[in-house]
Amino acid sequence: MPAAMLPYACVLVLLGACMAEAAGAAGGGRLHWEPRCQQPLPDRMPSTAVLPPRLDGPWISTGCEVRPGPEFLTRSYTFFPNRLFRAYQFYYRDPFCQEPAHSLLIKGKVRLRRASWVTRGATEADYHLHKVGIVFHGRQALLDVTGRLNQTQAGRDCAQRLPPAWAWLPGALYELLSTRAEGDCMAALGFTMHELSLVRVQRHLQPQPRAAPRLVEELYLGDIHTDWAERQQYRPTGYQRPLQSALHHARPCPACGLVARSDVRHPPALPAPLALPLRLGGRWVSAGCEARPAVLFLTRHFTFHAPGRSWEGSYRHYSDPACRQPTFTVHAAGRYSRGTPSARVRGGTELVFEVTRAHVTPMDQVTTAMLNFSAPGSCGGPGAWAVGTERDVTATNGCLPLGIRLPHVEYELFKMEQDALGQSLLFIGQRPTDGSSPDTPEKRPTSYQAPLVLCGREVRDSSRPPQLQKAPGGGGPGPRVAPLPLLLLVLGPASLQWL
Ligand SMILES: *[C@@H]1O[C@H](CO)[C@@H](O)[C@H](O)[C@H]1NC(C)=O
Ligand SMILES: *[C@@H]1O[C@H](CO)[C@@H](O)[C@H](O)[C@H]1NC(C)=O
User: Where do the DSSP E strands lie in 178-263?
Assistant: 198-208, 211-221, 243-245
The model's confidence at residue 81, banded by pLDDT at 50, 70 and 90, is: very high
Kindly tell me if the per-residue pLDDT of 6 is higher than 60. Answer: no
Q: Whose Cα sits closest to atom 7 in ligand 2?
A: 384
Say what the pTM is.
0.82
Ligand 2 binding pocket, CB closer than 6 Å: 365, 368-369, 372, 384-385
Phi, psi of 43 (to 5 degrees): -80, 5
Kindly tell me if the per-residue pLDDT of 32 is higher than 60. Answer: no
Phi, psi of 249 (to 5 degrees): -120, 160
- Spatial CB neighbours of 265, under 8 Å, sequence gap ≥ 6: 103, 135, 171, 173
Enumerate the domain spans of the chain.
Answer: 2-37+275-496, 57-260
Question: How many angstroms is it from 362 CA to the middle of ligand 2?
Answer: 12
How far apart are alpha carbons 452 and 426 in whole angstroms?
Answer: 5
The model's confidence at residue 181, banded by pLDDT at 50, 70 and 90, is: low
- For position 383, what pLDDT does the model report? 86
The model's confidence at residue 287, banded by pLDDT at 50, 70 and 90, is: confident
- For position 36, what pLDDT does the model report? 66
- For position 475, what pLDDT does the model report? 31
**Continuous H helices in 124-253:** 139-149, 153-159, 185-189
Length in residues, the chain? 499
The ligand minimizing its distance to the Cα of 142 is 1
Provide the 3-class DSSP secondary structure of residue 429: strand
Mutation choice for ligand 1 from 146, 157, 158, 168, CB with most ligand atoms inside 8 A = 146
- For position 483, what pLDDT does the model report? 27
Question: How many angstroms is it from 401 CA to the middle of ligand 2?
Answer: 16
Atom of ligand 2 nearest to the CA of 365: 13
Question: How many angstroms is it from 366 CA to the middle of ligand 2?
Answer: 11
Q: Whose Cα sits closest to atom 3 in ligand 1?
A: 150
Ligand 1 binding pocket, CB closer than 6 Å: 143, 146-147, 150
Q: Whose Cα sits closest to atom 2 in ligand 2?
A: 384
**Tell me: the pLDDT tens digits for 121-150?**
999 999 999 999 999 999 999 999 999 999
How would you classify residue 307: left for phi > 0, otherwise alpha for psi between -120 and 50, otherwise beta?
A: alpha
- For position 490, what pLDDT does the model report? 35
- % of the chain with per-residue pLDDT over 70: 82
Atom of ligand 2 nearest to the CA of 372: 1
Q: Name the average pLDDT for the chain.
A: 82
Instruction: For residue 490, count other CB atoms closer than 10 A to its CB.
Output: 24
Determine which of 15-29, 78-92, 239-253, 306-320 has the lowest per-residue pLDDT on average.
15-29
**Tell me: the pLDDT tens digits for 35-52?**
567 655 433 446 888 999
Atom of ligand 2 nearest to the CA of 368: 13
The mean pLDDT value for 420-433 works out to: 90
The model's confidence at residue 23, banded by pLDDT at 50, 70 and 90, is: very low
